[in-house]
Amino acid sequence: MKKKLILGSTSPRRQELLKQVQIPFTVQAANIDESQISTDDPVKKVKELAMLKGRSISIKKKDEVILAADTVVSYNGKIFEKPKNKEEAFDMISALSGNEHEVFTGVLIRSFDDEVAFVERTVVEFWPLSDQEIEGYVSTDEPYDKAGAYGIQSIGAMFVKKINGDYYNVVGLPISQVVRKLRNFSVLPERNCT
């Protein structure tokens, strides 16, 4: 029996990725208090947040599957989440300038009788950036709803020198890995080419 996917996220990027691979879904925002997770370990943090989000949504029917995720950027052992203001965004991009950082996405997939959680890691290297480049970027609307204050899929792409790992993980969902795991939950693309 093919099952119905509920995305426990209002992220437009996660929604776009699911549409891209033609997996039908509905959206139900996870209503959680993220401050419950206080660890400084980025792997633990994204996994625990994904699990908290995914478990906060109740499964009402046996044919429902929940997908929840959380993404953070980590540099020198420090977690960069969404910047609160222009100064914080400037500081984050300045720190990443000319350096490598890691992007972690925790994912939880949950059905009535099963659950799987995993974390994907991608290494991103930025070009050295001038204060003027950073200032121009943080003056746009782009940095403020993104972990690490940049979007690799939009203007922030110009900062990226190279990546090692899953590009889509940096966007916010390691989609090829997710598709493979969703198969085990009987959630399939509309055109099953996987």
Question: What is the pairing mode between strands 78-80 and 25-27?
Answer: unpaired
Question: 27-73: per-residue pLDDT in tens?
Answer: 998 888 777 888 899 999 999 999 999 999 999 899 999 999 999 99
CA distance 147 to 16: 17
User: Which stretches within the chain are classed as H helix?
Assistant: 12-20, 42-56, 86-96, 131-138, 167-171, 175-183
Question: Comparing C-alpha atoms, which of 51, 49, 60, 52 is closest to residue 115?
Answer: 51
- For the purposes of burial, counting CB atoms within 10 Å of the CB of 70, is it exposed (0-12), middle (13-18) or buried (19 or more)? buried
pLDDT of 1: 67
Query: Would you state the pLDDT for residue 33?
Result: 79
pLDDT at position 32 is 85
Domain segments of the chain as ranges: 4-183
Q: Is the CB of residue 164 less than 8 Å from the CB of residue 119? A: no
Stretches where the chain sits below pLDDT 70 are 1, 192-194
The catalytic residue positions are 70
CATH topology of domain 4-183: Maf protein (3.90.950)
Of 106, 113, 105, the residue nearest 186 (C-alpha): 113
